[in-house]
Amino acid sequence: MRANQTIAVGDTVDTVVDGAVRAATTRNHTGTHLLHAALREVLGKHVKQAGSLNDATRLRFDFSHFTGVAEEELREVEEIVNRQVMGNTKVETLVDVPIDVAVNELGAMALFGEKYGEKVRVVKIGDFSTELCGGIHTGATGEIGVIKVVGEGSVSSGVRRVEAVSGTGALHEFRRDFDVARVVGAMVGSTVAEGVTPAEALRARIVAQEEEMKKLRRELDAVRMKAASSSLSDAGASAVEVKGVKVLAQRVDGVEKAQMRELVDSLRIKLGSGVVVLGAAVDGKVSLIVGVTKDLTGRVQAGKIVGLLAAQVGGKGGGRPDLAEAGGSDVGSLDAALKGAAEVVGGLLG
């Protein structure tokens, strides 16, 4: 049949089921039943299905639970379901079972909020899982091959989600993990201690490198701070006086905002009374910070100063009367803005 061809009453249509897709879907669907039972065994009987999706590529199972599932718990769930798979238990489908018999005698799981008729369909997997279900399943658990849990997370308050793959999907997952493990093994090489997996060795190496990076960042920040402080050591001589107020405006490239705040505090102390304006270009962006000593905030506020300066570098900002910050995008205008800082302060002084 062509894609846009219409169907009329009385037409004869041949339908074809994709066998591979159907088989993969049945594996994932039966795997969902096993997963549900295993989650109840590991996490508790409060676990109830809150939604699911089964297709040829994966299975997704949402369930009621109050907290995240720990890695050890997921591993235990995975081991339980795969023991059931390897046991090759027969999957029985019972049709037209009275609802009271299914629930009370067979112990079938019924979903809260679902409406059932007087007769129901029950899918039973040995003594491990019994649920009301209308879907298609494998003839035995061994047909699933293997189940690999690939993710767990939150869906909403009190609802968690587990995702898994089975059959050839699990095979692809194992191949990918094997390729990653091989690369990790090559990276860590002979440094792996006895009893330590390549993943654990890589994790330890990454942690060590992160600590080393933190140490280097601290050392670099200290060097930058020392260089910036050295260049501003003679603050009094660098400041200009406008209408009786000392104004110090300097460019301090390479200094982070937190360090700029420290510099402003230090320079305000050195000035005793005055206005400090610092500007820096970092990653193509402008950072400005203005500090005003407490005795002058009644005459001029840092927020107003930084707002006028920020407009000159394509940005905006604000803050307290004694300390304010701004950002901008026009690095090329930073020097001119800093050069005109004294004039801006003078204009605000009146």
Residue 338 lies in a domain: yes
Which of 158, 184, 210 is the C-terminal boundary of a domain?
Answer: 184
Clarify whether residues 28 and 173 are in a common domain: yes
Neighbouring CB atoms inside 10 A of 31's CB total: 32
Instruction: Give 78's contacts (C-beta < 8 A, 6+ positions apart).
Output: 147, 148, 149
What's the mean pLDDT in 321-332?
Answer: 92
Q: Is residue 277 within 8 Å of residue 323, measured between CB atoms?
A: no
Which of 126, 160, 184 is the C-terminal boundary of a domain?
Answer: 184
Q: What is the pLDDT of residue 145?
A: 93
DSSP, residue by residue, 290-320: EEE-GGGTTT--HHHHHHHHHHHTT-EEEE-
Is the pLDDT confidence value at 2 over 70?
no
Q: What is the pLDDT of residue 295?
A: 93
Is the pLDDT confidence value at 144 over 70?
yes
What's the mean pLDDT in 256-280?
Answer: 88
Q: Which of 89-103, 197-211, 213-227 has the lowest mean pLDDT?
A: 213-227
Clarify whether residues 174 and 253 are in a common domain: no
Is the overall model pTM greater than 0.85, yes or no? no
Residue 88 lies in a domain: yes
**In terms of pLDDT, which residue wins out, 196 or 212?**
212
Q: Domain count of the chain?
A: 2
Residue 206 lies in a domain: no
Which of 153, 184, 215 is the C-terminal boundary of a domain?
Answer: 184
DSSP state of 89: -
Sheet arrangement for strand 129-132: 91-98, 119-125, 129-132
CATH number at residue 257: 3.10.310.40
Clarify whether residues 153 and 245 are in a common domain: no
What's the mean pLDDT in 211-225?
Answer: 74
**In terms of pLDDT, which residue wins out, 235 or 108?**
108
Q: Is residue 34 within 8 Å of residue 84, measured between CB atoms?
A: yes
Residue 223 lies in a domain: no
CATH number at residue 69: 3.30.980.10
Clarify whether residues 56 and 169 are in a common domain: yes
Clarify whether residues 50 and 155 are in a common domain: yes
Q: Give the structural domain span for 261.
A: 228-349
Quick one: pLDDT band at residue 266, thresholds 50, 70, 90? confident
Clarify whether residues 171 and 305 are in a common domain: no
What is the spatial distance between Cα 47 and Cα 184, in angstroms, rounded to a whole number? 37
Clarify whether residues 63 and 171 are in a common domain: yes
Quick one: pLDDT band at residue 177, thresholds 50, 70, 90? confident
Clarify whether residues 34 and 153 are in a common domain: yes
